[in-house]
Structure 1
Amino acid sequence: MATQPAPPAPGQSAPLFDAQVHARRWIDDYIARAPLHDLLRSGPTAPWQAMLEELAAVASDDLGHARERVQRHATDIGTGFRIIGDGEERPWPVSPVPLLIDAAEWTGIAAGVAQRAELLERVTADLYGAGTLVANGTLPAALVTGSPLFLRPMVGIDPPGGHHLHFIGVDLARGPGGEWRVLADHLRAPAGAGYALENRLAVARTLGGLQAKLNVQRHAPFFAAFRAGIAAACRRTDPRIGLLTPGRYNPSYPEQAHLARYLGLLLVEGADLAALEGKVYVRTIAGLKRIDALWRRLDPRLLDPLAFDTHSQIGVPGLIDAWADGEVVLANAPGAGALEAPAFAAFMPTLSRAVLGETLKLPTIATWWCAGDAQRAHVEANLDTLTIAPAFGHLPLGLADHASRADLLADLARRPQDYVGQEEVALSTMPVVVGDRLEPRPFTLRVFAARGADGEWVVMPGGFGRIGEHPQATAVAIGEGLWSADVCIHGSEPVAAISLLTAPDSLHVRRNPGTLPSRVADNFYWLGRYLERGEALLAAIRVLLGNSIDVDGGAVLSPATVGKLVGLIVGAGGAAHPPGLSRAALTAFARAAMEDEGWQSVAAVNRYAREIGEASRDRLSADMVRLLEAPFPTQRGMLERAGTLQRRYAAIAGLSAEHMVRNDAWRFHDLGRRIERAMATARALRLFGMKDDTVSTPDDLSTLLDLGDSQISYRQRYPTGVARVPVVDLVALDPGNPRSLAFQAERIAEHLAKLPVLGDDDMAESQQSHATALAAIIATATAADLNPDTLGDVERRLGTLSEAVARRYFLQGAEPLRAVGLTLA
């Protein structure tokens, strides 16, 4: 633990910087202002001293810098969240100061959470099984059957593996006396475990020595136990496990993507799955592949339109039948959320004694369900000192309308079962960096428990803290102006360096990257197409800006060539046709083609690419996601903005070329790029490179070289001047030019030859035949004879090829499940 710094020797001055001195000063200043029930003030200061010394070593005397640094690490990890109604993700707010809890105190907390998890499991099993708790009067029938969270179709079904719950979250509050109490249980789709993991990563990168100094317990054993617990419930010995997400618009989608990547789970949406003959499959580019378990983050009512909400567009028809037959594990089982209802909190002490024969080790905050006359009278008499909340999670009329006190009392009398009264909990505080100093702020703690392979509950050592914005807050929720904190459980015993990485010699080496869902292949394909489309449109705009509008920057193109450039941009949907070719008209036209979201402008295409990147973040590097999500440039001049965008496109292309493993996902991404680039090149050749009465001027040919990014290559080969046939040969037919039509055709054929096929007859599939025919047309063409008809045919063939790729690989929606040769594995 930390020791006090030694004073300077006689004749020596104190060092200019001493982390211990800074940490001690921060603590003394903080304790002088913190309330008596503050976590730091009321307990041993040695752990906090050690942690703050690490912080001082990083930030010197600048706590604001420490906050910025840990936030930067969180951003690098890719942590984010979305408030419902927001269009954009927000960065996850992480405090550089972790919440420190001694291992001895944590042992009691963990025991209480494990006890509560077992109680919730047994009560859930009874509600959907024997029903004795209602029959013997321990629970009112209205509490169960009147809850919108109780799912009647689940009654009488035994879940696979025999357990309804595999993963739960529990919100805890620490009172002024140091006692811990339960604020809420989360059973339907508990969020936050990924944020706890990301907080730990961000803080560990900032405070690298904290693990060794305080013996901080690790998260990896908890996640390993959870993964093993789900696998143990599956029928197959080597199960395929997925994380079922509602999609990228879900508030915690970044967390879900991070968890899937960390745990090695397949991140899937409802459209990726299909139920067939009592089993569940994921639609992949190699056909249907069996999936054995789903850690669902989808509302249970949306899981299966045949069992629950018939309007659900994101569920899987037949999923519940497969679950009832034991062919797929759902964690957690649908219907378990009935115990989340705040009204249930009023009965938890009674349930613990009736079901477990024990008192609760972690008491629930005092709750009164107003369905009982005595309880309602108590709430009405103490309306000013209680928190009035919805009994079943949805706002009743009196609360939703912000009614007056009289209206609320009237609604309480009319529908008392819709309300609970709960005590207002005074929260302990902890240090948080505000400005350049430590300030006390109230906090709550979300803890997670998971069922291990042996069926026993394992509690994550820590979780994540949620910190209030105001010193006197009594309720905390993540949102604007709030923070989250890593929770470090520390002790005197060394902690083994356990990781989810398997022992070096225990895995069989393989180079097969695993299952690629059709939706993911679709996303990667269109990510490539949109990036290439944006780059091609930007190239045309840059030529227009640099050679037609900015007259001081170079020679002006002829009106005929400018007109063709305008036609190219209009044909791509970038902007409406300008009223003329004056400088003002062309400036407005170029600005619209770059920024007008009402058209297929560069900004609009970038937005499409960003949305795909958000949906594929479990398979993209943080650098790639950051580039895709970068805001549109705001420099004053359009050429400067265009230059910034071009450098961004180049960086993304470099990442995909040099950092993506050459697996099927990369092939689809590059395939999309090649098809889109081939289309753009064929279009540019028709406009600027064909021999007729109106083209082949030097301006046309120079523009064609600019659009094909081939000016340097041409000048090196032909220093004497620009001629049509050499230009066309370089841009269209030279297989060594990575921008040429021939190069794209060869790469397209190579990708399709290496992607999986369904049949075993060694015959080419439709998309492969189209690619072979396309490559043959281009390979046998000559620059002198290449004409608009041939190029038009190439464009049509590229469109047909793209449709064939989509039909073959992007199996979604109403695509027949029994296509010819479909693989079931």
Structure 2
Amino acid sequence: MELATQAALFDAGTHARRWADGYAAAGARADVFHDPADASWLAMLEELAAIAGDDLSHARERVQRHAADIGTGFRIIGEEAERPWPLSPVPLLIDDAEWSTIERGVVQRAELLETILRDLYGPAALVTRGHLPATLVTGSPFYLRPLVGVTPPGGCHLHFVAIDLGRGPSGEWRVLADHLRTPTGAGYALENRLAVSRTLGGLQGRLNVRRHAPFFSAFRDGLAASCRRSDPRIGLLTPGRYNPSYAEQAHLARYLGFLLVEGDDLAALEDKLYVRTIGGLKRVDALWRRLDPRLLDPLAFDSHSRIGVPGLIDSWAEGNVVIANAPGSGVLESTAFGAFLPQLATRLTGADLILPNIATWWCGQPAEAEHVAAELDSMLLSSAFGARTLGLPGDGAVAGAELTREQRAAFLDDLTRRPQDYVGQEVVRLSSMPVVIGDRLEPRPFTLRVFAARDGDGRWQVMPGGFARIGEHPDPRAAVLGEGTWSADVCVHGRDPVPQTSLLPAADSLHVRRNPGTLPSRVADNFYWLGRYLERGEALLAAIRVMLGNSIDADAGAALGARTVGALVDAIVGVGAAPRPDSLRRHDLTQMARIAMESPDWQSVATINGHAQRIAAGSRDRLSADMVRLLDAPFPTHRGMLDRAGSLQRRYAAIAGLSAEHMGRTAAWRFHDLGRRIERGTAITRAARAFGLAGASVDDLSTLLDLADSQISYRQRYLTGIARVPVVDLTVLDPGNPRALAFQVEAIRDHLARLPVLDDDGMAEPQQVEATGLCAVVATAQASTLDAATLGEVERRLMRLSDAIAHRYFLRGAEPLRAGGLTLA
């Protein structure tokens, strides 16, 4: 009996029932998990117990670790560093029957919004017949008057929508907000599902959870069907890596097979849109944009925009590029439209809204303004069009009951002057769901974001799930959900088994190709400079380590002669890593080394690492998770300088190993390696000029071997001691030494020979001519006669070669649009 009791304590079902009973006893009927006998919730809790035992905090840590492995993150506006995505291990469970109502309501709403947009940018009958106030439309900053009369390619304004829903205490669902401009969150829903599936591996099969892949496949097919070409090129247009949801955008682009592009990657020419690639300008047929529509085209909208594409709107208006969603669709996001949608639904569709709005009063109408003023304490007050107003504190919604006397007076005063700027809404009370707090389950209010997209036949498909946002506090009012909340996966489940579908095509249905696809010029530029910065940091670190290890920490004082130490100081000062020390004494050299390692005010190792991190952050859709983690790792804080330097050296070696052994030999890898080779060639050329010329001492030559990481190679080859000519030959002219200059220039020539060329006349391009000339100089040099003039010429040629590579491949500005051979289909 005692053994049976002990076994039960470790049984997953026992833990699940205990959690369910305890949660239901402490919870309320408004919670989605109010019945402790609910089989679906018990199954989920059993899966949790199987991996967490009786410690729920372990489950939370595990799902967070999986989210981090996937690369899920977000950024708060104004912050440079990304934060980890806050994911709960407890998913929201919704059965098929309840989901069916949500699905039908979302499709009805998407169709209604499309109908209204088609009218507002077409005949405007809703306004002329008095069904919508003109001020409601023209007062929105997202109503784009220049687009009136323009029919979007494919005839649809909306391709992808997101709708926020709230579940009331009695179980009814209502719409809190529509997202049409740049709907975000689908990538987070996908990442949540991946992380939770890795954590609760058996849940999908036990509950027949519907999958997300068919939805994303339908969306991709829908965008492609709207394009004029049969095999379209589709891009995801991002504002850049500082956008709060950039990590989500990168993940979506990789998952869907879209090009992740910024405005600077694109160019409009003769009413067609192109992406600047290393192979020239190539057509783009569709853009899934995450860029504010007013910034899309400085010629059409905001002339101050530096992240848009001049001429993009003309290309769109001519039907040559699809933009999802169409510019101007954000006019319906205004909170004030919620006051009119119920009547419009009845008038335009002949039916009431399946998912009703929360009650809304637009104060642009006298009776509604009086009602809001009279019922202030029961209202949620907000800006009608999203812009900041004089009468409300802050930028978000404010509960009228929480206004101070002075704030109330300010609101009522501005309401009198500009009533059209304000909206009053009922304060929504939300259902709660379980979330892990500490080591137990506690109820928290939640909202649900649902996504819908057009498929290849133009019909709306709804993602089965979405993601839930969970309030940080037990307050059930919708207004309290904001920054600092958790998210949860949403699992739609039923009795019928779910097909094992995937976004990937069937194994035998896809044409095999070994060309990895289009490489935008900006990405090539990023990979090139990522390689250069990593190699530059490693070279500077090597100089610091030689100075620290041989001049400072030796037991009997300096192990290197003063001239050699002085040359090392010159090398570090010459690259702007630190100021020149007052003397070559141990204390002054230590202080200089510390600055060169970590000072943000100089081109230190830490500064160079920061450059590499920022570049990697903008290319995360093409870098492995391991590479990103190594690049994002914090700067070492070991107590000793040599320990810190050693830790960094191992990190550099790990990154180099990943790039050498785990990156496919694509054009992106070639540019990364080109950057490394040019930077390494420059470093070894400078080192040879400082430590390898005639008259070099043994200390100088030993230092040159250290900087070229060739000490072991030299000792294996020469047993009679250090001599200048063999040292120079090994570190500069030996094509078999991967650290030698000769190896670098041969690798550079090989990369340039394999990269795309624009003409088929067989003639070398300028960058190839430069590389061939550089190889000739190095190949004909002799170690015994190598002098400063020759090494100086090599360095100048390396710099010219770098400029030629940038001019040919890193296309920027208007000049490439006029260059012959750069425009391709």
In the TM superposition, what is the alpha-carbon distance from 1:42 to its structure 2 partner?
5.0
CA contact (8 A) 2:238 2:246 kept: yes
CA contact (8 A) 2:74 2:245 kept: yes
CA contact (8 A) 2:21 2:36 kept: no
- 1:191-225 CA distances to partner (integer Å, 9 max, x unpaired)? 00000000000000111111101100000000000
CA–CA separation in structure 2 for the residues paired with 1:487 and 1:553? 67
CA–CA separation in structure 2 for the residues paired with 1:406 and 1:552? 77
In the TM superposition, what is the alpha-carbon distance from 1:16 to its structure 2 partner?
5.1
1:734 aligns with 734
CA contact (8 A) 1:170 1:186 kept: yes
Say whether residues 1:213 and 2:206 are aligned partners.
Answer: yes
In the TM superposition, what is the alpha-carbon distance from 1:720 to its structure 2 partner?
2.3
1:509 aligns with 512
Question: What letter is aligned with 2:647?
Answer: T
CA–CA separation in structure 2 for the residues paired with 1:394 and 1:771? 56
CA–CA separation in structure 2 for the residues paired with 1:70 and 1:20? 21
CA–CA separation in structure 2 for the residues paired with 1:43 and 1:139? 48
CA–CA separation in structure 2 for the residues paired with 1:371 and 1:725? 87
Question: What letter is aligned with 2:617?
Answer: E
CA–CA separation in structure 2 for the residues paired with 1:568 and 1:736? 26
- 1:530-563 CA distances to partner (integer Å, 9 max, x unpaired)? 0000110111111111111223499621111111
1:823 aligns with 823
CA–CA separation in structure 1 for the residues paired with 2:173 and 2:543? 64
1:162 aligns with 155
Unmatched runs of 5 consecutive residues or more in structure 2: 395-402
Say whether residues 1:70 and 2:63 are aligned partners.
Answer: yes
2:113 aligns with 120
CA–CA separation in structure 1 for the residues paired with 2:4 and 2:214? 52
1:668 aligns with 671
Distance of aligned partners of 1:276 and 1:299 in 2 relative to their CA distance in 1, 3 Å threshold: same
1:806 aligns with 806
In the TM superposition, what is the alpha-carbon distance from 1:721 to its structure 2 partner?
1.1
Question: What letter is aligned with 1:704?
Answer: L
Distance of aligned partners of 1:217 and 1:748 in 2 relative to their CA distance in 1, 3 Å threshold: same
In the TM superposition, what is the alpha-carbon distance from 1:749 to its structure 2 partner?
0.2
CA–CA separation in structure 2 for the residues paired with 1:812 and 1:71? 40
CA contact (8 A) 2:552 2:558 kept: no
Question: What letter is aligned with 2:624?
Answer: S
Q: TM-score, normalised by structure 2?
A: 0.97
Q: Given the alignment, which residue of 78, 91, 98 partners 1:105?
A: 98
Question: What letter is aligned with 1:632?
Answer: F
1:602 aligns with 605
2:634 aligns with 631
Q: Given the alignment, which residue of 265, 269, 272 partners 2:265?
A: 272
Question: What letter is aligned with 2:366?
Answer: D
Question: What letter is aligned with 1:674?
Answer: R
1:721 aligns with 721
Q: Given the alignment, which residue of 216, 234, 241 partners 2:227?
A: 234
CA–CA separation in structure 2 for the residues paired with 1:10 and 1:535? 61
Q: What aligned pairs does 1:192-591 form with structure 2 within 5 A after superposition?
A: 192-400=185-393, 404-475=407-478, 481-552=484-555, 556-591=559-594
CA–CA separation in structure 2 for the residues paired with 1:357 and 1:501? 40
Q: Secondary structure at the match of 1:551?
A: coil
In the TM superposition, what is the alpha-carbon distance from 1:15 to its structure 2 partner?
4.4
More deviation, 374-383/477-486:
477-486
Percent identity between matched residues is 71
Q: Secondary structure at the match of 1:775?
A: helix
In the TM superposition, what is the alpha-carbon distance from 1:70 to its structure 2 partner?
0.6
In the TM superposition, what is the alpha-carbon distance from 1:599 to its structure 2 partner?
1.0
CA–CA separation in structure 2 for the residues paired with 1:293 and 1:497? 29
Question: What letter is aligned with 1:344?
Answer: F
CA–CA separation in structure 1 for the residues paired with 2:264 and 2:484? 36
Q: Secondary structure at the match of 2:620?
A: coil
In the TM superposition, what is the alpha-carbon distance from 1:159 to its structure 2 partner?
0.5
Q: What aligned pairs does 1:12-161 form with structure 2 within 5 A after superposition?
A: 14-15=7-8, 17-41=10-34, 45-161=38-154
1:3 aligns with none
Question: What letter is aligned with 1:314?
Answer: I
CA–CA separation in structure 2 for the residues paired with 1:554 and 1:433? 59
Q: Secondary structure at the match of 2:161?
A: strand
CA contact (8 A) 2:224 2:456 kept: yes
Question: What letter is aligned with 2:20?
Answer: I
Question: What letter is aligned with 1:644?
Answer: S
1:748 aligns with 748
Distance of aligned partners of 1:790 and 1:105 in 2 relative to their CA distance in 1, 3 Å threshold: same
In the TM superposition, what is the alpha-carbon distance from 1:639 to its structure 2 partner?
1.1
Distance of aligned partners of 1:232 and 1:422 in 2 relative to their CA distance in 1, 3 Å threshold: same
2:774 aligns with 774
- 1:649-695 CA distances to partner (integer Å, 9 max, x unpaired)? 11110110011000100000000000000000000000011114xxx
Unmatched runs of 5 consecutive residues or more in structure 1: 1-7
1:4 aligns with none
CA–CA separation in structure 1 for the residues paired with 2:152 and 2:231? 20
In the TM superposition, what is the alpha-carbon distance from 1:35 to its structure 2 partner?
2.2
Question: What letter is aligned with 1:404?
Answer: Q
Q: RMSD of the alignment, in Å? A: 1.4
CA–CA separation in structure 2 for the residues paired with 1:641 and 1:710? 22
CA contact (8 A) 2:20 2:36 kept: no
CA–CA separation in structure 2 for the residues paired with 1:553 and 1:488? 69
In the TM superposition, what is the alpha-carbon distance from 1:10 to its structure 2 partner?
9.8
More deviation, 237-246/471-480:
471-480
In the TM superposition, what is the alpha-carbon distance from 1:398 to its structure 2 partner?
1.3
Question: What letter is aligned with 1:545?
Answer: L
CA–CA separation in structure 2 for the residues paired with 1:280 and 1:44? 58
Q: Secondary structure at the match of 1:218?
A: coil
CA–CA separation in structure 1 for the residues paired with 2:716 and 2:109? 75
In the TM superposition, what is the alpha-carbon distance from 1:817 to its structure 2 partner?
0.2
In the TM superposition, what is the alpha-carbon distance from 1:383 to its structure 2 partner?
1.1
- 1:213-238 CA distances to partner (integer Å, 9 max, x unpaired)? 11000000000000000000000011
2:399 aligns with none
CA–CA separation in structure 1 for the residues paired with 2:640 and 2:19? 47
CA–CA separation in structure 2 for the residues paired with 1:13 and 1:233? 63
CA–CA separation in structure 2 for the residues paired with 1:225 and 1:424? 36
Question: What letter is aligned with 1:768?
Answer: Q
1:758 aligns with 758
In the TM superposition, what is the alpha-carbon distance from 1:254 to its structure 2 partner?
0.4
In the TM superposition, what is the alpha-carbon distance from 1:719 to its structure 2 partner?
2.4
Q: Secondary structure at the match of 1:312?
A: coil
CA–CA separation in structure 1 for the residues paired with 2:416 and 2:623? 55
Q: Secondary structure at the match of 1:454?
A: coil
1:703 aligns with 703
Q: Secondary structure at the match of 2:816?
A: coil
Question: What letter is aligned with 2:753?
Answer: A
CA contact (8 A) 1:102 1:491 kept: yes
CA contact (8 A) 1:467 1:476 kept: no
- 1:474-502 CA distances to partner (integer Å, 9 max, x unpaired)? 23687653210000001111000110111
Q: Secondary structure at the match of 1:618?
A: helix
CA contact (8 A) 1:729 1:783 kept: yes
Q: Secondary structure at the match of 1:513?
A: coil
CA contact (8 A) 2:472 2:481 kept: no
Distance of aligned partners of 1:474 and 1:302 in 2 relative to their CA distance in 1, 3 Å threshold: same
- 1:111-152 CA distances to partner (integer Å, 9 max, x unpaired)? 101100000000011000010100111100110011111000
CA contact (8 A) 2:30 2:431 kept: yes
Q: Secondary structure at the match of 1:542?
A: helix
CA contact (8 A) 1:448 1:463 kept: yes
Q: Secondary structure at the match of 2:32?
A: coil
CA contact (8 A) 1:443 1:468 kept: yes
